[in-house]
Amino acid sequence: MTKKILVTGGAGFLGSHLCERLLVEGNDVLCVDNFFTGSKDNIAHLIGNPYFELIRHDVTFPLFVEVDQIYNLACPASPVHYQFDPVQTTKTSVHGAINMLGLAKRVKAQIFQASTSEVYGDPEIHPQTEDYWGRVNPIGIRSCYDEGKRCAETLFFDYWRQHKVDIKVARIFNTYGPRMHPNDGRVVSNFIVQALKGEDITIYGSGQQTRSFCYVDDLIEVIVRFMNASKDFVGPVNIGNPGEFTMLELAERVIALSGSKSKLVFKPLPSDDPKQRQPDIGLAKQELDWEPKVSLDDGLRQTIKYFETKI
């Protein structure tokens, strides 16, 4: 049966891939975005499809529509963008969550929240499991994002307990792929753009800090599985690729795969930058029968191909 599905942040990197996937499955998709970091280019190929609708709207304001499912992805995700207007970032996470939960409550829709590994802050346990409460600085430059997303999780669980809203909360670990914003400052897009332009590759700090990178197709698959899984499984659930790499290793792979002659340069490490990050995905494996399939090299090849067309 065709479902009416709202995707907030649908013109962004992850949102545009999700809209595409939901349309392929025969759903009626309503994309809501204020185009802060998203772009019409990401969804231009969907405009004209009678089952795709686009509304320019900021989720910090109420929204009255009738839908069966809501994927709440609206929020800038890269440090450069979420620190540009930090007050708006917190409003987007918190007021945005309240409005989307109010909507879900009124129309009895299922609602998915794109939470983040950032809720763990600079973690003391490794790899991170869902029962870890995190180590987050409440007053630092990343707090608008981390604490905003933590408060959004609180709201989701309170609407679930108090109003019986059908929630799904996923903690997304670093994800990359085509349609990342070329200037958004995230490490994968920065390194690829620098490598393709033959510019210096900027390593922040020693480059020994680690991240675990998931290719976008693997992530979209598990998001959709989660939304359609048993109502009793609400999360929070970690989703990401457990393969862990230092930023130096990532830079070396990008250089090798793009055939670049770029050199590494070292820049200061931004404050509160987590030293290590790797998801424990045991829960996602068990409950959703899912694990990522795309290797870092294969994913980087696809992403390099995309940026070649952009540069």
- Please report, as ranges, the residues that interact with ligand UDP according to CB under 6 A: 62-64, 78-79, 98-99, 102-103, 105-106, 174, 186-187, 190, 202-204, 209, 211, 247, 269-270, 273
Partner in contact with 38, chosen from ligand UDP, ligand NAD, none, beta carbon below 5 to 8 Å by kind: ligand NAD
CB of 211 to ligand NAD, least distance (A): 9
Partner in contact with 148, chosen from ligand UDP, ligand NAD, none, beta carbon below 5 to 8 Å by kind: none
Which residue number, 96 or 260, has a Cβ lying nearer to ligand NAD? 96
Which residue number, 2 or 206, has a Cβ lying nearer to ligand UDP? 206
Cβ-contact 187, 247 below 8 angstroms: yes
CB of 286 to ligand UDP, least distance (A): 25
- Rounded-to-integer distance, Cα 141 and Cα 303, Å: 29
First to last CA, the chain: 41
Residues that bind ligand NAD (CB under 6 A): 8-9, 11-15, 33-38, 58-60, 73-77, 92, 96, 114, 116, 172, 174-175, 181
Please tell me the chain's helix, strand, coil percentages from 3-state DSSP, rounded to the nearest 5. Answer: 40, 20, 40
- Rounded-to-integer distance, Cα 281 and Cα 214, Å: 12
Instruction: Count CA atoms within 13 Å of residue 92 on its CB side.
Output: 28
CB of 198 to ligand NAD, least distance (A): 26
Give the CA angle between residues 65, 66, 69 to the nearest 5°. 110
Which residue number, 2 or 183, has a Cβ lying nearer to ligand NAD? 183
The first and second tokens of residue 281, run together, are 């995905």
Annotated active-site positions, please? 145
C-alpha distances in Å from residue 230, one per residue of 6, 41, 110, 213, 226: 20, 35, 11, 27, 8
DSSP 8-state class, residue 146:
H
Partner in contact with 102, chosen from ligand NAD, ligand UDP, none, beta carbon below 5 to 8 Å by kind: ligand UDP
Which residue number, 9 or 46, has a Cβ lying nearer to ligand UDP? 9
CB of 174 to ligand NAD, least distance (A): 5
